[in-house]
A = this chain, B = another copy of it.
Amino acid sequence: MIKVGIIGYGTIGKRVADAVNLQGDMKVVGVVKKSKDYSLEIGLKRGLNVVALNEQRGGLEELVKKADIIVDASPGGIGEKNKEIYLKNKKKAIFEGGEKASVAEVSFTASCNYGEAYGKNYIRVVSCNTTGLVRVLHPLNRDFGIREAFAVVIRRAADPKETKRGPINSIVLDPVTLPSHHSEDVKTVIKGLNITTVAFKIPTTLMHVHSLRVSLEREASKEEITETLIKEPRVIFASSEKGFNSTSQLIEAARDLGRLRNDIYETVIWKESLTMLNKKTVYLTLGIHQEAIVIPENIDAIRASLKKASKQESIKRTNESLGILKEEIT
């Protein structure tokens, strides 16, 4: 049984905790959270072992000693500071996308580079937008070659629980200049990819949407591209015919499915958005649930780091435990 310590119990930390405890081959042995609040209280009711509050270094180190591996889901930048404690205690750690790529030996999504992460001490699970993009671009690049990719990232301004972020009524260029950091982050996983992204922040909380234009090296039919994407784990299609034409309907479906916190772990492609301008240029629209999409990658990163399972085995196990869908949402 892998003993997992979780540092930070916010949007990602609490979800990783729940996912770890669903696995069967791992369990949470403690979490460190800055302050006590409703979400920690609910976590405690559900069996969490809280080692330290208020970031007391002693408490954090106590957990580090006790655990086989740490998932550091602290706010961006804090993970890097905590790393000295992991190094001192020779403890492996998984970092999140808010940290710089240099914090870890490898930037990670399960399908793209599980092998590269195998046995590594420090793995960085890339951010939600990057994870969503890589899951689609990696198989396209592998099967057809990507000559150039362009993504417009339409970002939710805040998570549902956040009350202090905006905009209220605006479209914010985030930033005004191109490229946004997303394309640079994708390249930490898919090295050398020719990709440009631009991002906009808008007044919604549910999900991000990406509009993608990909030009391919080799000619492909719509059927071939669909087949490549449908075979990819954690990529599913949502059909407009079944009533999916916005982010809110996806979240409603996750609620209907009984998903914990209405989480969508999959990268969603709107089926009817997949359009070939010609045999080498494809457009598609993605939905990305910012709170949840990286959770399965965190679980796989734990197994990869500790060499506890092969790529196929880990992905299968994680997917089954979280009820991750294949091919289509419904």
> C-beta contact mask, A133-174 vs B, less than 8 Å → 1, else 0?
000000000000000101010100000000000010111110
How far does the Cβ of A237 sit from chain B's closest Cβ, in whole Å? 11
Measured between beta carbons, the chain B residues less than 8 angstroms from A290 are: none
CA distance A263 to B277 in the complex (A): 36
Measured between beta carbons, the chain B residues less than 8 angstroms from A167 are: 204, 246, 248
Measured between beta carbons, the chain B residues less than 8 angstroms from A244 are: 176
How far does the Cβ of A133 sit from chain B's closest Cβ, in whole Å? 15
Residue of B nearest to A244 (CB): B176
Measured between beta carbons, the chain B residues less than 8 angstroms from A170 are: 204, 206, 246-248
**Which of B176, B247, B270 touches A270 (beta carbons < 8 Å)?**
B176
A contact residues, range: 35 or more
Contact A196 B272, beta carbon cutoff 8 Å: no
Residue of B nearest to A271 (CB): B176
Contact A273 B169, beta carbon cutoff 8 Å: no
**Which of B179, B213, B270 touches A173 (beta carbons < 8 Å)?**
B270
Contact B177 A275, beta carbon cutoff 8 Å: yes
Contact A173 B246, beta carbon cutoff 8 Å: yes
CA distance A203 to B201 in the complex (A): 11
How far does the Cβ of A248 sit from chain B's closest Cβ, in whole Å? 4
Measured between beta carbons, the chain B residues less than 8 angstroms from A173 are: 209, 240, 245-246, 270, 273, 285
- A198 on the B face (CB < 8 A): yes
**Which of B172, B203, B271 touches A203 (beta carbons < 8 Å)?**
B203
Contact B176 A245, beta carbon cutoff 8 Å: yes
Measured between beta carbons, the chain B residues less than 8 angstroms from A169 are: 203-206, 248
- A216 on the B face (CB < 8 A): no
CA distance A150 to B152 in the complex (A): 11
| Interface core residue of A154, A177, A271 (most chain B CB under 10 Å) | A177
Measured between beta carbons, the chain B residues less than 8 angstroms from A152 are: 152, 154, 211
Measured between beta carbons, the chain B residues less than 8 angstroms from A172 are: 245-247
CA distance A152 to B273 in the complex (A): 13
Measured between beta carbons, the chain B residues less than 8 angstroms from A270 are: 173, 176
- A202 on the B face (CB < 8 A): yes
* Residues of chain A from 196 to 252 with CB closer than 8 A to chain B in the complex: 196, 198, 200, 202-207, 209, 211, 213, 240, 244-248
Contact B246 A207, beta carbon cutoff 8 Å: no
* Residues of chain A from 257 to 295 with CB closer than 8 A to chain B in the complex: 270-273, 275, 277, 283, 285
On whether A171 and B245 interact (CB within 8 A), knowing A202-B204, A273-B176, the answer reads no
Residue of B nearest to A275 (CB): B178
Q: Which 4 A-B pairs have the closest CB atoms?
A: A170-B248, A176-B240, A172-B246, A178-B275
Sample of 14 A–B contacts (CB below 8 Å): A167-B204, A169-B205, A169-B206, A171-B206, A173-B245, A173-B270, A175-B240, A176-B240, A176-B285, A178-B273, A196-B275, A196-B277, A202-B203, A211-B211
**With A152-B211, A169-B206, A198-B273 given, can you name 5 additional A-B contacts, CB distance below 8 Å?**
A154-B200, A171-B202, A173-B245, A177-B272, A200-B209
